């Protein structure tokens, strides 16, 4: 047994030293990511839908599309439909792609036009508007009728401190009051279905989902899949590890116990879009949905930045450059050990083999 363990340790060490050939899907020539912004979910729990949209758009742009086809909110709505859940928060990339394939896609511009009715009224972004709606939709139906306005005002006050600019939420009061009798899913459906009467069929590769039962398999398999597909991967992981890289948020499945994700894990889904060695260890380029600055978890971290003025990329940009006003953080380099201890799923598009769910 000791010999076997030693062999496994040596094998893993050899992989770490000999593999991890550089890949960067963001900076490559004609990269689809040049047509796909760094999204900001702003507390809205649909990271899974942003991941699904990016997987699909990447493939479609590679095939010749000139721009985005999938609105993440449409993906979240279709996921809620197939799961028959009232809110759009919490889902999976794999099942969102399946839902879009089965139910069709509302053209991005149509959906965007419908959403702009709310965003213009509120002087806020889509994520800010939907984030407030989700907060209210969870609780407002339980509030007494004569306390609805007071509860909305209190929630707006709590939510506005995380919003840019000066939102004018009072312009959305009729819609917000409707949440006392409607779900966020119903409201979103009512807004966009009139402009999405006819959906388009999506012709993309099949979604696949894998989950590995040993920590040391994760870096190897991420590395292998990036080389094989030359396309992005959606990773399900504990976001808390971005703040504390020593965090171990997943107990792997064994013959006698199921996989367990720790309660304080902060379950999240992001895109892995590259790999390279830093300090002799493989690091993966994580494209997040926490806005142009990646979030404050990028402290003391090397990232890939892009100049707003010139469009040029700066790799290994330091913290002082992340949020200097000129640059957008396209992604940050995350140590392989973070995913080894905290990943609990990987989704991608590939017409091969049946998925392991």
Q: Quick one: tokens of 18?
A: 């000999």
**313 bridge partner residues:** 306
pLDDT of residue 261: 96
Work out the pLDDT band at 16, boundaries 50, 70, 90.
very low
CA nearest to 166, candidates 156, 155, 151: 156
Q: What is the pLDDT of residue 243?
A: 92
CA nearest to 328, candidates 292, 274, 281: 292
The Cα–Cα gap between 102 and 203 comes to 11
β-strands 303-307, 281-287 pairing:
unpaired
276 has pLDDT over 60: yes
Q: How far apart are CA 299 and CA 278, in angstroms?
A: 16
204-244 pLDDT tens trace? 999 999 999 999 999 999 999 999 999 999 999 999 999 99
Mean pLDDT of 334-350: 97
Residue 127 phi, psi (nearest 5): -65, -40
Q: Residue 189: pLDDT above 60?
A: yes
Inter-CA distances, 151 with 135, 146, 155, 228, 324, Å: 11, 10, 6, 52, 37
pLDDT above 70: residue 65: yes
Measured CA to CA, the distance from residue 130 to residue 120 in angstroms comes to: 13
Please tell me the pTM assigned to this model: 0.90
Give the Cα separation of 284 and 315 in Å (integer). 13
């Amino acid at each position: 047994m000791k010999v076997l363990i030693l062999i496994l340790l040596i094998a893993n060490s050899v992989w770490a030293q000999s593999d991890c050939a550089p890949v960067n899907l963001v900076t490559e020539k004609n990269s689809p990511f040049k047509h796909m912004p760094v999204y900001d979910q702003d507390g809205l729990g649909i990271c899974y839908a942003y991941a699904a949209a990016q997987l699909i758009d990447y493939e479609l742009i590679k095939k010749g599309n000139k721009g985005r086809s999938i609105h993440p909110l449409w993906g979240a709505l279709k996921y809620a439909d197939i799961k028959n859940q009232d809110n759009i928060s919490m889902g999976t990339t794999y099942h969102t792609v399946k839902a879009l394939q089965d139910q069709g896609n509302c053209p991005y511009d149509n959906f965007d036009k419908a959403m702009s009715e709310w965003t213009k009224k509120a002087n806020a972004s889509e994520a800010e508007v939907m984030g407030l709606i989700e907060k209210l939709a969870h609780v407002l139906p339980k509030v007494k009728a004569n306390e609805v306005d007071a509860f909305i005002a209190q929630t707006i006050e709590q939510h506005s401190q995380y919003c840019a600019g000066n939102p004018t939420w009072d312009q959305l009061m009729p819609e917000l009051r409707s949440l006392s009798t409607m779900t966020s899913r119903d409201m979103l459906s009512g807004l966009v279905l009139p402009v999405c009467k006819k959906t388009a069929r999506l012709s993309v590769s099949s979604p696949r989902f894998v989950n590995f039962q040993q920590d040391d398999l994760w870096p190897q398999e991420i590395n292998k899949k990036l080389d094989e597909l030359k396309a992005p991967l959606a990773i399900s992981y504990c976001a808390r590890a971005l703040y504390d890289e020593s965090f171990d948020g997943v107990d792997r499945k064994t013959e006698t116990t199921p996989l367990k994700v720790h309660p304080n894990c902060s379950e999240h889904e992001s895109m892995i879009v590259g790999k390279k060695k830093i300090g002799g260890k493989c690091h993966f380029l994580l494209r997040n949905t926490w806005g142009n600055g990646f979030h404050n978890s990028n402290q003391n971290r090397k990232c890939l930045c892009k100049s707003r003025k010139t469009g040029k990329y700066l790799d290994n940009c330091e913290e002082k450059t992340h949020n200097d006003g000129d640059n957008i953080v396209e992604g940050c380099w995350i140590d392989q050990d973070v995913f080894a201890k905290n990943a609990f799923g990987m989704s991608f598009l590939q017409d091969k083999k049946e998925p392991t769910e």
